[in-house]
Structure 1
């Protein structure tokens, strides 16, 4: 008898009021057994999705070249689970340069083979929602496209070339950063394939309207040789939107930034962000550079890059740092590097910490008080506003607000914030020393 029939009998039995205790016990056991069997058809979509950047035909079957998403909730729900399959594998393989795509769904068994009334999730349809048309479903067709990779050349204008020494690979590798706009032939189609990676590695990712000419694109490529030919592999990219600032300026805002997993941890993010800053520094109409809802990792990266850029400016010299944050620092950072005042102040605090002997109690105290004054400024402003409001409050509301202004609690929170900032700054200083 089919499992579906068994389930129907169980449901019918549950609606019969004359069941004995023994029958109820059997029903419960039956449902538990059914639930266990169905649970075997649940798959973690972060594990099931297999991504590759393929350079050579042998990479297709080489498991060491596979990487997996950090997130899949935007397609498969908050629990990141697909139901209906055992041994599910969703293959999304890309040619390393042009990102020609192979898409296949494999599994060892399907829930309908055992339960003829239970429908599996449409895992294939979810992927088709985000990948552009023109992908391969056949491995042989995909491998034939790899032969055309020699014809692929980076889009746009070359901004910067740099080299990375890879200890594991035992050699130096060459990388290029290019600036592109959407009018570049073939780029729009390439970008549609590239942006699919956002869904897997940026938690709140969304696709952008590339037809808006205020978008700038910056791409990173690895330059390598294969059988005597020079080829290029996609490493990562950044999108920047140019907002209008009255009366005649623009404010570039970093929207998305991604270094693909096989290249992470090699310093490409810092190279990309620095190259982007240097590009906009040469444009007189640019006011300053910002970022849209920056992640914690992006803030760390930005701290490092901006400190690296500012440390050579005259206003940030050691003798000037000891005098405190100045208008000259804010002005020079904005005019020469397009860094706003808030970020310039953070750069100053990092460089000031680097030159401060924290074992000297007086110097350490001076530094601590200066940073804490900056951290406390928003709270102090709120307190002034709250004091004005208190005249209009009822007694119970007044008591609530007074409790919020508890001095001891504020000191505790301020010290905690200071220690967190100090730890962040020290990580930047360590990275500068290593560089």
Structure 2
């Protein structure tokens, strides 16, 4: 039995470890690994039947024209049918996928000379290392380009999947202005916004929208440079100036994106919060409704921003602050607390409250407000 298991391991390869991604510039290359491969190779992220298996998926760093190379030292011919790269080929644009390096290089160099970043520039910003631009284009106007980049959704977004090529999708792309290298992207979809019949009937000149951020990827070579923050803020800033957009939401955000969103939203609304005479605990539903209308945040996000802003202004949370936060936590977890004794409920709420405060402190360490965040005594 052990021999069989050892042989199986010998012929089994992690698809995530085997797949290398490369952005190829005119003279240099950046190599990195995917975070996930299960949408392509299955939940176990394993490929059976090969030894020394390697996939190299190379993209031109500007146009994202793809090249796939595959190598292995041994294959169990009697047990394995097809090719190990077949699942990967299925999710790539077949009509543009190259397997010959020389032909790929000839085409990519020609494309690079003619390439223009799709769409219109919506933002330009500088970091310590370079200048970057963000462009916006309708997916329908950049179909081929979108098909080249969409594989990054499967490789870097947990449970990510391809979007349908609906005419209403917008694509935001980030490029290094100095090198013309692709750095990341985001897809956004407009949904009909409906709050209530009274609000809807009062809007006559346009159809109100809820913009939903769907897929958001900054490639590993460009992470940690502030590109994600600038991309998110560019999208929100554009929504803020569009009267048709009444709310900005995010589809199934990861924990990392939640942190990014919290920090960006808090930094954006903090000054107007602290200048408001009603900025205090406890705050009521009408206060949150007004904030939601002004900032286009969701109700949950508005409440989190107010709670963090209040916490930042206090050295010690007030009794009113503690009670309101614990009440919110209780209402959110009421079903799970229904069979607990009052002492058990108190203990659970105290523990959850402390965790929320600690998490707020962690988030606020990455935000430049009027002063450095205080160490809060809970």
Q: TM-score range with shorter-chain normalisation?
A: 0.7 to 0.9
Runs of at least 5 residues in structure 1 that lack an aligned partner in the other structure:
1-30, 60-64, 166-171, 226-231, 384-400
Change (3 A) 1:224 1:146: farther
For residues 219-271 of structure 1, what are the alpha-carbon distances to aligned partners after superposition, in whole Å with 9 as ceiling and x for unaligned? Answer: 1111124xxxxxx1111111111111244311111111111111112221111
For residues 46-96 of structure 1, what are the alpha-carbon distances to aligned partners after superposition, in whole Å with 9 as ceiling and x for unaligned? Answer: 11001011113453xxxxx32111111122222111011111111100011
Choose between structure 1 and 2: higher helix proportion: 1
Determine if the alignment matches structure 1 residue 125 to structure 2 residue 78: no
Change (3 A) 1:295 1:221: same
Taking the aligned partners of 1:150 and 1:422, their CA distance within structure 2 comes to 53
Taking the aligned partners of 1:129 and 1:174, their CA distance within structure 2 comes to 36
Q: Give how far 1:379 is off.
A: 4.3
Q: Is the 8 A contact 2:125 2:133 kept in 1?
A: yes
Change (3 A) 1:57 1:87: farther
Q: Which residue does the alignment assign to 1:349? A: 307
Output aligned runs, 1:50-129, within 5 Å: 50-59=20-29, 65-112=30-77, 117-119=78-80, 122-129=83-90
Taking the aligned partners of 1:58 and 1:280, their CA distance within structure 2 comes to 37
- For residue 190 of structure 2, the aligned residue among 222, 242, 247 is 242
- For residue 143 of structure 2, the aligned residue among 173, 188, 213 is 188
RMSD of aligned alpha carbons: 2.3
Runs of 4+ in 1 over 4 A off after TM superposition: 326-329
Which structure is higher in RCO with an 8 Å CA cutoff and minimum separation 6? 2
Q: Give how far 1:132 is off.
A: 0.3
Per the normalisation by structure 1, the TM-score is 0.76
For residues 347-388 of structure 1, what are the alpha-carbon distances to aligned partners after superposition, in whole Å with 9 as ceiling and x for unaligned? Answer: 011111111112xxxx454432221122112345x59xxxxx
Q: Give how far 1:121 is off.
A: 6.7
Q: Give how far 1:424 is off.
A: 2.0
Determine if the alignment matches structure 1 residue 426 to structure 2 residue 361: yes
Taking the aligned partners of 1:202 and 1:338, their CA distance within structure 2 comes to 25
Taking the aligned partners of 1:111 and 1:283, their CA distance within structure 2 comes to 59
Determine if the alignment matches structure 1 residue 273 to structure 2 residue 243: no
Runs of at least 5 residues in structure 2 that lack an aligned partner in the other structure:
195-199, 201-206, 373-378
Determine if the alignment matches structure 1 residue 159 to structure 2 residue 122: yes
Taking the aligned partners of 1:379 and 1:327, their CA distance within structure 2 comes to 19
Q: Is the 8 A contact 2:267 2:368 kept in 1?
A: no
Output aligned runs, 1:286-365, within 5 Å: 286-313=245-272, 315-317=273-275, 320-326=278-284, 329-358=287-316, 363-365=317-319
Q: Is the 8 A contact 1:96 1:233 kept in 2?
A: yes
**Greater Cα radius of gyration, structure 1 or 2:** 1
For residues 32-59 of structure 1, what are the alpha-carbon distances to aligned partners after superposition, in whole Å with 9 as ceiling and x for unaligned? Answer: 5454334311111111001011113453
Q: Is the 8 A contact 2:93 2:148 kept in 1?
A: yes
Taking the aligned partners of 1:263 and 1:69, their CA distance within structure 2 comes to 14
